[in-house]
Chain A
Amino acid sequence: MQGPLIDTLARQGVSRRTFLKYCATLASMMALPPAAGLAMAEAMAAARRPSVIWLPFQECTGCTESITRSHSPTLEGMIFDMISLDYQETLMAAAGHQAEEALHAAMKANHGKYLLIVDGSIPLGQDGAYSCIGGRSNLEILKEAAQGAAAIIAVGTCAAYGGIPKARPNPTGAVSVSDIVKDKPIVNIPGCPPVPVVMTGVLAHYLTFGSLPDLDDKGRPRAFFGETIHDRCYRRPFYDQGKFAKTFDDKGARRGWCLFELGCKGPVTHNACATAKWNGGTSWPVESGHGCLGCSEPDFWDAGDFYKALSMPAHPPTSVVAAPVAGATAGAAAGFANRAKKNAARKARQPITVADLEK
């Protein structure tokens, strides 16, 4: 293990063992085989600092809170130091014209090479007047910044898919980054907010391999979003045994049984909460007794009641040795059925009120 990153870390008093331990944990969270930890450590030790520009649009700063506060101060924080964060409104000391100058200086100096991180959706209504920085609309700023970017990382469900601002009736005409930018590689890191280590993990992947990670059909890195919450849930065995909590205070809930019937969206939600957990690895929604809301999926706010169980498959798979072609057809049929159900759910959707939550 030799190179610029490990040397910088060594100067900060971070030992090789600390780094190796970090990489082992990171590999585990990225669902890589245990042996990959060592390979990652070797490659990442030699990484160089890329310039990063972070633009906040129509957002709540929850994503920034997540990446900075919940895991600090840990090695993730130091890895974050290992990039050159040239513009981040919440974290930077500069303000006003100074800040805008810093942005333009960074964009000019690293044209074609910087990583652009975006959090928040982009409002198109009223010519973008709903969200402006320095008198310019988010749309205008995004288009300008995207031009010189090597790649764009859309952080949070708002930037990735429009998120809560885009939820019906979408008063500001909010759209996602990929709705506007079509000619640059875009990595979506959804979540409301995203798991901190997933954000730093994608940066780590960029540092490690010098490229962007493999993406799924929704533009998410497969390493973190390849499996559903349900597949990696420690309560999954109870689902398989048919043991469900029926209310939030029954025997099943006390015994930690599956929360499927209480509306858990784990089976249709791709995210890393079950393995990466939250608040420095303390716990995560299902572990604290509440089902998954599905916040890392497009349109999660409009996808039906948070407390209604997902529909059961009409014809549960009976045999796992079915021919692959038949399997694919059945899968597609189930897909159509689910889409129909989702549309029905969307139509029947009632806004959740405080009274509903207290029922």
Chain B
Amino acid sequence: MTLDVIPIHVVPRHAGAALPGEPGLSGNAPPLLRELAEQVRHLLETGEPSAIDLSALPLTPADLDWLREKLGSGEIAVTLQANGESTLDETACAGVWWVTHRNEQGAVASQFIEVAFVPELVKAHPADVAIGRERLEFMVSENH
């Protein structure tokens, strides 16, 4: 049996061609932009961060692509190696971060859009900083 017997054909999607109403798009993504605008307003007024849990919403893979493309990419992209790779990428809208947690096999474990000046995960924990200081002091004492 050859591959063309299987009646499934991959249709490449052109960049920017994805609009609600096209195959794969549910139309559930555009309202999230409004929610993000509200969350950014809240961040500016109160300084409180917030987040949207993308895996909790009925979004198709095409919806996620559409949203990601719409938000664009910003200046900062953080990669975290912790039990699999995580990426925390700033979007073209400063303060809006696209956060993807992957497991060790590389599959997406959870996905969020965080609205914050800096995502919590990026900051160093004081206890870890204290361990870092101990290490530095040890290095200093070793050199004497």
Where the two chains meet, the residues of A that have a C-beta atom closer than 8 Å to any C-beta of B are 1-2, 14-18, 20-22, 24-25, 28-29, 31, 33-35, 38, 73-75, 232-238, 241, 249, 254-256, 275, 277, 280-282
Partner pick for B103 among A74, A232, A241, CB 8 A cutoff: A74
Residues A31 and B128 in contact in the complex (CB < 8 Å), given A25-B109, A38-B120, A238-B26? no
Residues A255 and B24 in contact in the complex (CB < 8 Å), given A35-B51, A234-B60, A236-B58? yes
Q: Which residue of A lies closest to B62 (CB)?
A: A256
Tell me whether A256 and B24 are in contact (CB under 8 A): yes
Of the listed stretches B30-38, B65-73, B78-86, B133-141, chain A binds B78-86
Chain B stretch 22-73: residues in CB contact (< 8 A) with chain A: 23-24, 26-28, 50-53, 55-56, 58-61
Taking the closest CB of chain A, its distance from the CB of B7, in whole angstroms, is 7
Tell me whether B56 and A21 are in contact (CB under 8 A): no
**Which B residues are CB-close (under 8 A) to A234?**
58-61
Taking the closest CB of chain A, its distance from the CB of B48, in whole angstroms, is 10
Q: Size band of the B side of the interface?
A: 35 or more
Cross-chain pairs A/B with CB under 8 angstroms, 16 sampled = A17-B82, A28-B112, A29-B110, A34-B52, A34-B114, A35-B50, A35-B51, A233-B58, A235-B60, A236-B58, A237-B60, A238-B26, A254-B8, A256-B60, A275-B56, A277-B107
Question: Bound state CA distance, A166 and B42, in angstroms?
Answer: 54
Question: Bound state CA distance, A22 and B103, in angstroms?
Answer: 10
Question: Bound state CA distance, A256 and B63, in angstroms?
Answer: 13
Residues A20 and B83 in contact in the complex (CB < 8 Å), given A25-B109, A28-B110, A232-B58? no
Taking the closest CB of chain A, its distance from the CB of B73, in whole angstroms, is 22
Residues A21 and B121 in contact in the complex (CB < 8 Å), given A15-B128, A28-B53? yes
Where the two chains meet, the residues of B that have a C-beta atom closer than 8 Å to any C-beta of A are 7-8, 23-24, 26-28, 50-53, 55-56, 58-61, 80, 82-83, 86, 101, 103-105, 107-110, 112, 114, 120-121, 125, 127-128
Taking the closest CB of chain B, its distance from the CB of A24, in whole angstroms, is 6
Partner pick for A1 among B104, B108, B127, CB 8 A cutoff: B127
**Which A residues are CB-close (under 8 A) to B80?**
17, 21
Question: Bound state CA distance, A2 and B26, in angstroms?
Answer: 44
Partner pick for B82 among A21, A249, A254, A256, CB 8 A cutoff: A21
**Which A residues are CB-close (under 8 A) to B82?**
15, 17-18, 21
Question: Bound state CA distance, A241 and B60, in angstroms?
Answer: 14
Partner pick for A28 among B26, B28, B56, B114, CB 8 A cutoff: B56
**Which B residues are CB-close (under 8 A) to A280?**
103-105, 107
Taking the closest CB of chain B, its distance from the CB of A12, in whole angstroms, is 12
Taking the closest CB of chain B, its distance from the CB of A336, in whole angstroms, is 29
Partner pick for A282 among B60, B83, B107, B120, CB 8 A cutoff: B107
Partner pick for B125 among A16, A22, A277, CB 8 A cutoff: A16
Question: Bound state CA distance, A2 and B130, in angstroms?
Answer: 13
Question: Bound state CA distance, A280 and B125, in angstroms?
Answer: 28
Q: Which residue of B lies closest to A280 (CB)?
A: B105
Taking the closest CB of chain A, its distance from the CB of B51, in whole angstroms, is 4
**Which B residues are CB-close (under 8 A) to A238?**
26
Taking the closest CB of chain A, its distance from the CB of B138, in whole angstroms, is 18
**Which B residues are CB-close (under 8 A) to A20?**
120-121
**Which B residues are CB-close (under 8 A) to A22?**
83
**Which B residues are CB-close (under 8 A) to A21?**
80, 82-83, 86, 101, 121
**Which B residues are CB-close (under 8 A) to A28?**
53, 55-56, 110, 112
Tell me whether B83 and A75 are in contact (CB under 8 A): yes
Residues A237 and B51 in contact in the complex (CB < 8 Å), given A15-B128, A24-B110? no
Taking the closest CB of chain A, its distance from the CB of B61, in whole angstroms, is 8
Question: Bound state CA distance, A233 and B107, in angstroms?
Answer: 18
Q: Which residue of A lies closest to B111 (CB)?
A: A28
Question: Bound state CA distance, A204 and B124, in angstroms?
Answer: 24
Tell me whether B112 and A24 are in contact (CB under 8 A): yes
Question: Bound state CA distance, A194 and B47, in angstroms?
Answer: 41
